[in-house]
Chain A
Amino acid sequence: MTDALLFREVTKRYGRRAAPALDACSFRVPTGAVCGLVGPNGAGKTTAFSVVSGFLLADSGEVSILGEPGFSPARLKGRLGVLPQDAELPDRHTPPELLVHLGRLQGLSAAEARSESERVLTLVRLEDRIDSAIATLSHGMRRRVAVASALVGRPELVLLDEPLAGLDPVQAHSLRDALAALRGQTTLVVSSHNLAELERICDWVVMLDHGRCVRQGPLSEVTGQRGVVVWELAGDPPLSALTEHLPHHSWRRDGTHWVQEAPAGADLDAASVVVMRLLVEAGVGVRGVQRGVSLETSFLEGRD
């Protein structure tokens, strides 16, 4: 699989004496992936997005974007869509006026840009606010206009920095559905503090901390979906029986949950049947089962 985005040893400092926002950071995002870029405040997520978008110039290292060496508005015209985290929209215009302008700058004709504007505004459910000046829209609506701007012209690579920030639950739900619908149409990189939200739409994860990539890969690998089962039980499990029947599996308590770690290549489906039978025989109720740990747990483990 080719990479839509590739960082090689990228370093960026805001000032000579400042700690690096990106510190020899290397990661990749495969073409077609829906990637979650996760990390705590100051991890370097927004800086990474800004370097890709050409807003910030890296001090060293290489960035490959859709096969192009670094950001170039001429070579990437219309191929890259970005939602900057804290950029204010030019607010004197209506959403269609702004989106048509941006679409035309991407190389679309006036008619194509108008059609694209209608499409993306429908996608973010703002089709009924096309006559309102952006200045009169709520924060959430402006956020959706900004998301729409990143989707104009169906770019091959879309970077969304905190797209759900400031949205109410209904808006967040509808936008998450809209983003999930992009799977297979474009390579999507989404940064968010809300790991539960990200987990629902991502299939690839890049974890940043202190400007470095601490973990990356398919979501299933990062969260251990191939070797870990998390059980939420009404009581303690029959550990001796479990160890007897599944001798290569290990068990550990994690708060209110029990984590079953299987050896590489184990048949987790078959093993789960055995565990369920032993739990029932021991009279231990099962409240929930999850393949792999949550993205949040995985991230916290990665930081340790």
Chain B
Amino acid sequence: MTELRDIGLIASFEVRRAVRTWRALALIVLYVVATAGAAYVFTQIIGAAEQSLASTLGVPATDTPGTMLTELKANREFRGALSQAVGGTDQLDALLQWPLLAIFHLWFSFLLVPFFAASASAESIALDVRTRALRFEALRTGRLEIVLGRFLGQLLLTGLAAAASIGGVWTVGMLYMVGHTPLGLATGLVWFAVRAWFFSIPFVGIGVACSQLTASPAWARVLAISMTAGSWVALGIARWLETRGDGWAIVADLLIQILPQGWLMTMWAPGLDWMVAALVCSALGLVAVGLGYARFAGRDL
């Protein structure tokens, strides 16, 4: 119980400290601006697609994106592009019950969240090792409690960023697009933000792991971003290996299982099936933190 209490205390202090640090706030604002900006670009793309479709169908076009969503969703080319992104037509049909903008937001979050989460959390321990501020906590509680507390704190901050981005995207959706209700869009964004948050867990884990390896915040950040980018490359290699025969397929399958991106399509699953991917991502996050801790536990502070 004492350990859990200490983890909670450290997480809470981490969040309060980060909120008072301009750097953490700037990252959150950057994330909100990026997602809102991407949402705006998406509304313009939808508007252009609708105008093109209207021209094809010979119907009058409108300037407001979202007025021909029903026709757009039925369009074969549009469906083909979307189904590739979400892992199949069955999943797409289930997902299309949600506002299109919410679906786009989840897709964009899956791209952005890993880098944001890994980069932001890479400072969490390294900075305090460099300034030796960590010693004030290390005297009073175990190193594992500190690491898990910082990990939890970073997850809460990522959740804060994800929650803030909902507001930005919702505002863009209400200002520049029609075809969804305010409540419907908000519900879709919230529901999908939870999935994006779960997908961030392994990358927060990578960030915290890198933060335990060095006393240089800059180096920890470079390492975390490189590992995140490397995980996408590893996924590409695994997909390529899958096509090369039985022996390689086993290796590829194993690699895909341990990469968060390997569970991305399951994250799109309708109903509650995506929670399997969420559980795996949580476990991968803890494994990453644990690997960093193996070094941190035995190092001088």
A interface residues, Cβ below 8 angstroms from B:
50, 53-57, 73-74, 77-78, 80-82, 84, 86-90, 92-93, 97-98, 101-102, 104-107, 149
Q: Which of the segments B58-66, B95-103, B128-136, B288-296 contacts the partner chain?
A: B128-136
Q: A55-B301, A87-B132 are in contact. Are A106 and B17 (CB under 8 A)?
A: no
Binary contact readout B164-193 vs A (1 if CB under 8 angstroms, 0 otherwise): 000000000000000000000000000000
Interface of A is mostly: loop
Say whether, besides A92-B20, A101-B9, A107-B2, A73 and B141 are in contact (CB < 8 Å): yes
A90 touches B300 (CB 8 A): no
**Contact B140 A88, beta carbon cutoff 8 Å:** no
Closest 3 CB pairs of A and B: A87-B132, A105-B140, A88-B131
**Inter-chain contacts of A81 with B (CB < 8 A):** 139
Q: Are A105 and B132 in contact, with the CB atoms below 8 A? A: no
Whether the pair A87, B17 counts as a contact (CB closer than 8 A) is: no
How far, in Å, is A73 (CB) from chain B's closest CB? 5
At the interface, yes or no: B243 with Cβ under 8 Å from chain A? no
Known interface pairs A55-B300, A73-B141; A104-B133 also in contact (CB < 8 Å): no
Closest CB of chain B to A158's CB: distance in Å? 11
* B contact residues around A54 at 8 Å (CB): 138-139
Most A CB within 10 A of own CB, among B9, B139, B301: B139
B73 within 8 Å of A (CB atoms)? no
B133 touches A89 (CB 8 A): yes
Is B71 an interface residue when CB atoms closer than 8 A count as contact? no
Chain B residues, Cβ within 8 Å of A102: 136-137, 140
Q: Which residue of B lies closest to A52 (CB)?
A: B139
B240 within 8 A of A: no
Question: How far in angstroms is the closest Cβ of chain A from B263?
Answer: 36
In the bound assembly, the distance between CA atoms of A105 and B4 in angstroms comes to 11
Q: Other CB < 8 Å A-B pairs besides A73-B139, A77-B140, 12 of them?
A: A55-B132, A56-B301, A57-B300, A74-B2, A77-B2, A84-B132, A92-B17, A93-B16, A102-B136, A104-B9, A105-B137, A107-B2
